Structure 1
Amino acid sequence: MSDTTHDGALATSTPPSPDAGLSAGELAAKYGLSVSGARPGLGQYIRELWGRRHFILAFSSAKLVAQYSQAKLGQIWQVATPLLNALVYYLIFGLILDAGRGMEKGVYIPFLVMGIFVFTFTQSSVMAGVRAISGNLGLVRALHFPRASLPISFSLQQLQQLLYSMIVVFAVAIAFGNYPSASWLLVVPVLFLQFVFNTGLAMVMARMGAKTPDLAQLMPFIMRTWMYASGVMFSITVMLEDKPQWIADVLQWNPAAIYMDLVRFALIDDYGSSNLPPHVWAFAVGWAVLIGLGGFVYFWKAEERYGRG
């Protein structure tokens, strides 16, 4: 005889769940579940980035086109802006302050132009990196993709802009008597190493900027200080010849100065190896590997936190 409830309904007993007693972790393992938004392993993350390579290229190109879309001169400003900066710095540092002493006019002007264009490459990558996450929260929160795609695409955008600008750099070099030679090919590995360095630094700043958006307001002052300390407008060895040698060494070994001086060495005939610090190529590669790989890992470690809060 079956048991009945007080209202006559047939009472049935519910069989125990086969998952009873399992912890959340054990349940997830049993059914192949994972935490939503969890950070993937480093190898998987790299594969996901490679799978988004077309998005990264398209996004960087679109940003480059849109950058000056509201200006009447359009993409001309990509070249005009650093050229105008070079003109201003030449008037102030070259003519008034005589920062180019020790160099002929035909050397100093290419020296200055190359320094400004190359440093602007790093400066723009860093500034874009600071806002890579905080300035694209709508995209970050709406779509699932490796967040490193953003700082990489911004650095790639700045590389494309620099490549357009190099036409002007080459023209300035030729105008002052520096004609194409085998040494000009050195520009290719130098800019590649600088791109790797810039991308790593942009990733570091992207993570920091995602947590502290006010960093974007502070960065122009930091970048300006870095520019003055990197010998953009003057020769570090000449300006610091009466100072302790270690000061000039520290300034020459900073990555911005290294990449600028290598480009100058490649393109300016009278800018010889005596103007370069010892082991300059080792430092150029070392900075690229250290900041490029270190910045990538540093950014990846906070992958699951971007766009939250």
Structure 2
Amino acid sequence: MNSALQPLDEGLPPAELAARHGLSVSGARPALPEYVRRLWGRRHFVVAFSSAKLTAQYSQAKLGQIWQLVTPLLNAAVYYLIFGLILGTRRGIPHDVFIPFLVTGVFIFNFTQSSVTAGVRAISGNLGLVRALHFPRAALPVSFALQQLQQLLYSMVILVVVAIAFGSYPGPRWVLALPALALQFVFNVGLTMIMARLGSRTPDFAQLMPFVLRTWMYASGVMYSIPVMLEGKPEWIKVALQHNPLAVYMDLVRYALIHGYGADNLPAHIWLYGLGWAVLLGVAGFIYFWKAEEQYGRG
């Protein structure tokens, strides 16, 4: 039978010949719905991989996982010393509000900053895994974003203690922190995927990111109130800074957890902006990463 079919195959282009016999390109990018289905099928790997990376992060330190709580607290203490006491950026913010205001800003910004930093190396730092196993490559940046979410949840223990210590006791508004963090997580996943694709082709991109992130931090109101510090400046500058995604998510969590931080501190329609940024970056980042699926680990 094979000999009878052989003449039919002669002279066919390789692509048509492969299709005739049910062959497909190794590592070819699947359609988007199929890609999503395959990624969902690897959800247990995503969770296990992120947990393993988090556990290994401080495995060489004597204090181990305690550093997950100490590191963000030390960062907040340094910012309070420099910006709160020396530079006086707490202008317009009551003293009993400024410390939880600052700690919240540091933790929320670090959530995105760490996701971006990890995302840049998500593919380039795991080439052995990418080349050895066949799986949706999006599992890696999603794992790193999930790792940072777990890190943030540890840090929230410190944030809750600080909030209570300065008079912000648990109340109905605290529940609002959950959807705010969920929106930021979706935003982070999309941004992490964008960084993963860029970092996979340009390793030097990782050297540029600290400067970009530092600029973003200073522009997001981590350690100062944007409306107060920009008083007298052109209105468009204040609007641009207040509606940048990190400023939005910081404001939402501050409003949820700090009783002295009322709705008058929030720009109008802030929840819509939080949702918009999450949907925009989440969808665009996923599609942007998926478009280059067959390129990862090659070259």
TM-score range, shorter chain: over 0.9
| Alignment length (residue pairs) | 297
Aligned counterpart for 1:63 among listed residues 46, 53, 60: 53
Distance 1:17 1:68, change over 3 A: same
Q: Distance in 2 between matches of 1:55 and 1:14?
A: 47
Who wins on radius of gyration, i.e. which is larger? 1
| Aligned counterparts, 1:1-309, within 5 A | 17-309=7-299
Change (3 A) 1:17 1:254: same
What are the ranges of 5 or more consecutive residues in structure 1 without an aligned counterpart?
1-12
- Which digits, 9 at most, give the CA deviation of each residue in 1:92-113, with x for residues without a partner? 1001111001111110000000
Per-residue displacement from partner, 1:94-133 (whole Å, max 9, x unpaired)?
Answer: 0111100111111000000000001100000000000000
What per-residue deviation string (whole Å, max 9, x for no partner) do you get for residues 10-64 of structure 1?
xxx9996221232223222222211111111111111110111111000000000
Structure 2 CA distance for aligned equivalents of residues 164 and 298 of structure 1? 31
After superposition, the C-alpha distances for 1:121-158 in whole angstroms (9 at most, x for unaligned) are 00000000000001111111111111000000000000
Please tell me the residue identity of whatever aligns with 1:105. H
Relative distance call for 1:15 and 1:101 in structure 2 (3 A) is: closer
CA distance in 2, matches of 1:148, 1:166: 27
TM-score (norm 1): 0.94
Which consecutive unaligned segments of at least 5 residues does structure 2 have? none
Distance 1:270 1:175 in 2: 13
1:273 CA drift (Å): 1.2
Tell me how far apart the structure 2 counterparts of residues 260 and 182 of structure 1 sit (CA, whole Å).
18
Q: What is the distance in 2 between the residues matched to 1:15 and 1:267?
A: 73
Q: Which amino acid aligns with 2:76?
A: A
Q: Structure 1 residues 248 and 16 mapped into 2: Cα distance closer, same or farther (>3 Å)?
A: closer
Q: Counterparts of 2:124 and 2:170 in 1: how far apart (Å)?
A: 43
Shift of 1:245: 1.2
Secondary structure of the 1:60 match is: helix
CA separation of 1:14 and 1:291: change in aligned 2, threshold 3 A = closer
Cα distance, 1:174 vs. partner?
Answer: 0.4
CA distance in 2, matches of 1:83, 1:206: 28
Distance in 2 (CA, whole Å) between partners of 1:268 and 1:40 is 46
Supply the RMSD in Å over aligned alpha carbons: 1.3
Which consecutive segments of 4 or more residues in structure 1 shift more than 4 A?
Answer: 13-16
Deviation digits for residues 74-102 of structure 1, max 9, x if unmatched?
A: 11111111111111110110011110011
Greater helix percent: which structure? 2
1:185-230 CA distance string (max 9 Å, x none): 0011001000000000000000000010011111011101100000
C-alpha distance in structure 1 between counterparts of 2:246 and 2:105, whole Å:
9
Output the TM-score relative to the length of structure 2.
Answer: 0.97
